């Protein structure tokens, strides 16, 4: 014991050490340690009292990523804002896991630790008590829960979310967690860690509303595979309140995860579309429901058909039609999709999140109203979506349905190979095109049909589809489209049906 540091010596070491990241804590020794907050201040002193617990196990794995309601002080002190999680609450578990992942990353990046190794023969518990008794109050502010949870360090969290490149669906989950935390702390009557289920479950906004906008995301090309629904409710004062939920589509394939970030794991425990429609159908009856193109209504229709239930009798309107009448200059110059309108109108939202896209569609209508054109556009902008099913031909390729104006029929994620070879694949939604357009340039009879493709910036071409490779045969315009848009791997090419035989392609930056 002669070589063991005394309590005053250990305290001097802890107070004078340069903090290091929790990931740097050693996994081969024990002793006395301190936790350092994101301001660089020593706030907690503890020890690895158990013989099987190392500095790394205690600090990096328990304090940083352990339970918020136990003596895991990093987890407890930063259980705040968008990093908030209510432990063991099944109703918020999906969102809570995302918040905890963000919190773990925040602590690893912005907090730290100091430590003094001691031999296993030392009286570590006794030395810990002596060090704590000698320590200044600010150095043990967290001990025995002597300090309240920190307010969210907003700027640091914003920067971390950007650095982690969290997808829109995870950002939306973090916003919901922030709202739950604010309800908890604002109530002032709910003890820490004991939030009620009613407080944690988001309710649909209470009216009255002038109109609503609705958007969905799907797991794959089956429009019935809805995995997220967002509704933006516009109040009489033009303020917007958004409601969003994940949906379990019970899907086997998840072709669009790269687009919206939702996968099968994330929707475990989420409601089915049947339950969501049971909620939405009565509250949206009597309201004008905007959707940006016919895709969203066709998805609701397909889901209802799969369930064997009647489609809701909502007053559907098309915000694309509103945008076309209000900003005609965008025709052939980016188009009237949400990505183009985002740039043209200076909108701020995360594309391909149902709640964000619904809000954006509502904002488009509100901006058009200010120019006095939305009411004119709504008349004649009613969504009429034909049945998504069509007869199969002898070779198994379906004739294309006539969709609503500007309806999205498919999305293709670009690879480096696509960019090098000037094409993008249509195979995942090939059945949305007419059979007669497949290898039309090789046919000698009158059954061939060439397609018109708008490439933006006033450029259009006539082409057919290569049946072997399943992309547009005219690759010269594809090459020019890639060059003009600065396309890169991971970007999404969105194909829209304008009218039978006439298509538009746009690019979504990712």
- Whether residue 472 lies inside any domain: the answer is yes
State the pLDDT at residue 413.
85
- What is the predicted pLDDT for the residue at 20? 96
Which residues touch 112 (CB under 8 Å, ≥6 apart)? 19, 20, 21, 22, 35, 36, 40
More reliable by pLDDT, 444 or 177? 177
Q: Which of 322-331, 371-380, 417-426 has the lowest mean pLDDT?
A: 371-380
Phi, psi (deg, nearest 5) at residue 503: -130, 160
Last residue in a domain, options 154, 180, 196: 154
Boundary (domain end) residue, out of 378, 396, 424:
378
Residue 352 has pLDDT above 80, yes or no: no
Q: What pLDDT is recorded for position 182?
A: 81
- Same domain for 245 and 360, yes or no, is yes
Q: Of 133-137, 190-194, 335-339, which range is least confident? A: 190-194
Q: Clarify whether residues 217 and 354 are in a common domain.
A: yes
**How far is 464 from 448, CA to CA, in rounded Å?**
9
Q: What digits encode the pLDDT tens for the residues 220-231?
A: 888 999 999 999
Statement to judge: residues 232 and 353 lie in one domain: yes
The answer on 360 and 469 residing in a single domain is no
User: Would 358 be classed as within a structural domain?
Assistant: yes
Q: What residues does 466 pair with on adjacent strands? A: none
In a domain, 395, yes or no: no
Same domain for 349 and 215: yes
The CA-atom distances, in angstroms, between 42 and each of 20, 34, 324 are: 12, 6, 59
pLDDT, residue 404, reads 37
Q: Is residue 412 part of a domain?
A: yes
Our count of domains for the chain comes to: 3
Which residue from 361, 370, 360, 356 is spatially nearest to 316, judged by alpha carbons? 361
Alpha-carbon separation of residue 88 from 67, 93, 95, 182, 196 (angstroms): 10, 7, 12, 19, 12
Same domain, 30 and 88: yes
Closest Cα to residue 339, out of 493, 501, 162?
493
277 or 175, greater pLDDT: 277
**445 and 371 together in one domain:** no
Q: What is the pLDDT of residue 36?
A: 96
The mean predicted confidence, pLDDT, of the chain is 83
Q: How confident is the model at residue 446, as a pLDDT?
A: 55
Share of the chain above pLDDT 70, in %: 87
Residue 284 has pLDDT above 90, yes or no: yes
Average of pLDDT values for 379-397?
39
Q: What's the count of helices (H) and strands (E) in the chain, helices before strands?
A: 17, 13
Which pLDDT tens digit goes with each residue over 457-476?
A: 778 888 999 888 899 998 88
Does residue 393 form part of some domain? no
Same domain, 17 and 117: yes
Please work out, in degrees rounded to the nearest 5, the angle formed at the alpha carbon of residue 274 by the alpha carbons of 271 and 278.
100
Angle between helices 93-110 and 154-164 (to 10 degrees): 100
Does the pLDDT at position 396 exceed 60?
no
pLDDT at residue 46 tops 70: yes
Q: Are residues 108 and 27 in the same domain?
A: yes
CATH number at residue 465: 2.40.330.10
**Which CATH number fits the domain that encloses residue 309?**
3.30.420.10
| pLDDT number for residue 60 | 93
The confidence band for 55, taking pLDDT boundaries of 50, 70 and 90, is very high
Looking at the fold, whether 242 and 328 belong to one and the same domain comes out as yes
Q: Can you give the residue range of the structural domain that contains 292?
A: 211-378
Q: Report pLDDT digits (tens) over 249-278.
A: 999 899 888 778 788 888 887 889 999 999
Q: Is the pLDDT of residue 406 over 70?
A: no
pLDDT band at 65; cut points 50, 70, 90: very high
Structural domain contains residue 221? yes
Check whether residue 106 and residue 241 sit in a common domain: no
Q: Do 231 and 142 belong to one domain? A: no
pLDDT tens per residue, range 80-92: 999 999 887 777 8
Residues 147-176: what's their mean pLDDT? 88
CA 398 to chain CA centroid, Å, is: 33
Residue 327 lies in a domain: yes
Please report whether residue 168 resides in a domain. Answer: no
């Amino acid at each position: 014991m002669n070589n063991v540091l005394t309590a005053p010596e250990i305290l001097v070491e802890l107070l004078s050490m340069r903090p290091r990241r929790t990931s740097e804590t050693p996994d081969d020794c024990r002793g006395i340690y301190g936790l350092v907050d994101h301001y660089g201040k020593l706030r907690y002193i503890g020890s690895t009292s158990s013989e099987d617990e190392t500095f790394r196990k205690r600090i990096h794995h328990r304090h940083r990523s352990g339970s918020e309601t136990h003596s895991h002080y990093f987890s407890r002190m930063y259980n705040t804002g968008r990093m908030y999680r209510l432990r063991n609450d099944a109703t918020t578990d999906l969102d809570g896991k995302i918040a905890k992942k963000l919190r773990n990353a925040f602590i690893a990046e912005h907090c730290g630790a100091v430590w003094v190794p001691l031999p296993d023969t030392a009286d570590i518990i006794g030395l810990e008590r002596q060090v704590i008794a000698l320590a200044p109050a600010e150095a043990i502010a967290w001990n025995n829960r002597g300090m309240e949870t920190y307010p969210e360090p907003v700027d640091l969290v914003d920067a971390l979310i950007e650095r982690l490149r969290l997808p829109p669906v995870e950002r939306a989950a973090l916003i919901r967690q922030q709202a739950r935390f604010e309800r908890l702390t604002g109530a002032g009557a709910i003890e820490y860690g004991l939030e009620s289920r009613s407080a944690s479950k988001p309710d649909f906004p209470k009216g009255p509303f002038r109109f609503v906008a609705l958007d969905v995301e799907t797991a794959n090309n089956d429009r019935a595979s809805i995995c997220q629904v967002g509704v933006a409710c516009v109040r009489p004062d033009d303020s917007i309140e958004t409601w969003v939920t994940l949906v379990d589509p019970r899907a086997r394939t998840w072709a669009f995860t790269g687009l919206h970030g939702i996968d099968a794991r994330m929707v475990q425990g989420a409601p089915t579309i049947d339950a969501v429609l049971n909620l939405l159908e009565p509250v949206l009856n009597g309201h004008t429901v905007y959707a940006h193109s016919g895709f969203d209504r066709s998805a609701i229709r397909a889901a209802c058909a799969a369930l064997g239930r009647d489609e809701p009798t909502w007053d559907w309107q098309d915000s694309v039609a509103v945008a076309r009448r209000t900003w005609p200059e965008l025709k052939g110059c980016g188009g009237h999709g949400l990505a183009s309108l985002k740039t043209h109108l200076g909108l701020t939202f995360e594309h391909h999140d149902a709640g964000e896209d619904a809000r954006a569609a509502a904002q488009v209508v509100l901006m058009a109203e200010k120019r006095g054109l939305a009411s004119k556009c709504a008349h004649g902008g009613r969504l009429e979506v034909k049945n998504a099913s069509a007869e199969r031909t002898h070779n198994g390729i379906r004739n294309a349905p006539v969709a609503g104006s500007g309806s999205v029929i498919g999305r293709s994620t670009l690879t480096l190979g696509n960019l090098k070879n000037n094409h993008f694949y249509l195979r995942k939604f090939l059945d949305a095109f007419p059979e007669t357009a497949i290898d039309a340039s090789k046919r000698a009879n009158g059954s061939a049909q060439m397609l018109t493709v708008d490439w933006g910036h006033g450029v259009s071409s006539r082409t057919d589809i290569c049946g072997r490779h399943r992309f547009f045969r005219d690759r010269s315009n594809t090459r020019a489209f890639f060059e003009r848009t600065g396309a890169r791997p991971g970007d999404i090419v969105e194909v829209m049906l304008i009218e039978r035989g006439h298509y538009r392609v746009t690019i979504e930056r990712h």
